[in-house]
Amino acid sequence: MKLGIVGLPNVGKSTLFNAITKAGAEAANYPFCTIEPNVGVVSVPDERLKVLHEMYHSKKTVYTAIEFYDIAGLVKGASKGEGLGNKFLGHIREVAAIVHVVRCFEDANVVHVDGKINPLSDIDTINTELILSDMEVLERRIQKTVKNLKGDKSLSAELDLLHRINAVLAEGLSARTMNSVFSEEEQEFVKSLDLLSYKPIIYVANVSEDEAAAKEENEYVAMVREFAAKEGSEVIVVCAKIEAEISELPEEEKAMFLEELGIEESGLDKLIKASYSLLDLISFLTAGEPEVRAWTIKRGTKAPAAAGKIHTDFEKGFIRAETIAYDKLIECGGNLAAAKEKGLVRSEGKEYIVKDGDVMHFLFNV
């Protein structure tokens, strides 16, 4: 899963990126590696794997991972190639979702590029560049479809949809604002267009240290929430400065530090939960002495496709999946034989839809 972190200069984007990727590096079971200067890989915390590791005395524990891209280089005119515009837009095209960090704090020592704090203006600057890029893509697609329409009248519905999307973009609205009015078939078609403004987005309201644990949110956060609600997007509130401090602490001290500040969970945990929800992802588990492991799949995935995440041969030669819910396995102390005696281990076939926390063993024949 690749998430692209974007934001204007001095909003706390890089501070947050550095903090959350280092947070993943501090614990032995949360490996971190730098692929290139602006990419970090963070393991997704999952307490279930720790429990299974202890039960099976596993030699290896493998967490699922998220790649965070610290996408830099945005200036007004990026869609026209200004600054690092093409590189910026190219990086966004590679990610599954966008994490847009928005400045929601006052600090006289941190200059804002526009001279004043205005979250809606910040959001608009980035969204405008994505929209302008998408309009260029649509113009080319419309021209191509008009040309092909002469020989294939069935393309008229496609052309109508392209014009509808373009009209919304021309109003300065992102393509994602239309998602609720698209049919499932239309959604799949729009995804194939690879529009930047159609990518799912999480807005991260970066607040000051004083406001990180406040019960009432400041006016800037309220503005971001109101905007996000109109396009059906989620907002999480973090303090990048505090995240940076957390990342420097030993694992056993992090929870205590958060508790002292009155913060329920770290920004990284909030971001991971929001990302899973946004992309409609779940995890199934495999367990044994060689290793315990989490595998991330789309909600609604059937057993053979889930097996294919492990190896393509598992999907090709799928016979059945021995499955038990994680909670039920724990009730039996991790003893599969005991679980089978109680009838808790199910034999699931090709039509079974995998659920979050399923512990699975696949039988296959190639």
What local confidence, expressed as pLDDT, does residue 27 receive? Answer: 28
List, in order, residues 6 or more apart from 143 with CB less than 8 Å away.
Answer: none
Overall average pLDDT of the 167-180 stretch: 93
Its pTM stands at 0.83
Overall average pLDDT of the 350-366 stretch: 95
Q: Does the structure show a pLDDT above 70 at 332?
A: yes
| Residue 58 near residue 303, CB atoms below 8 Å | no
- How many CB atoms within 10 Å of residue 128? 17
Alpha helices in 95-239, H assignment, sequence order: 119-149, 156-170, 184-193, 219-230
| Residue 244 near residue 19, CB atoms below 8 Å | yes
**DSSP code of residue 27:** S
What local confidence, expressed as pLDDT, does residue 26 receive? Answer: 31
Q: How do residues 259-275 score in pLDDT, each as one tens digit?
A: 888 888 888 888 888 99
Q: How confident is the model at residue 213 (pLDDT cuts 50, 70, 90)?
A: confident
171 or 248: which leads in pLDDT: 171
Q: Does the structure show a pLDDT above 80 at 32?
A: no
What local confidence, expressed as pLDDT, does residue 150 receive? Answer: 81
Q: Which amino acid is at 180?
A: S
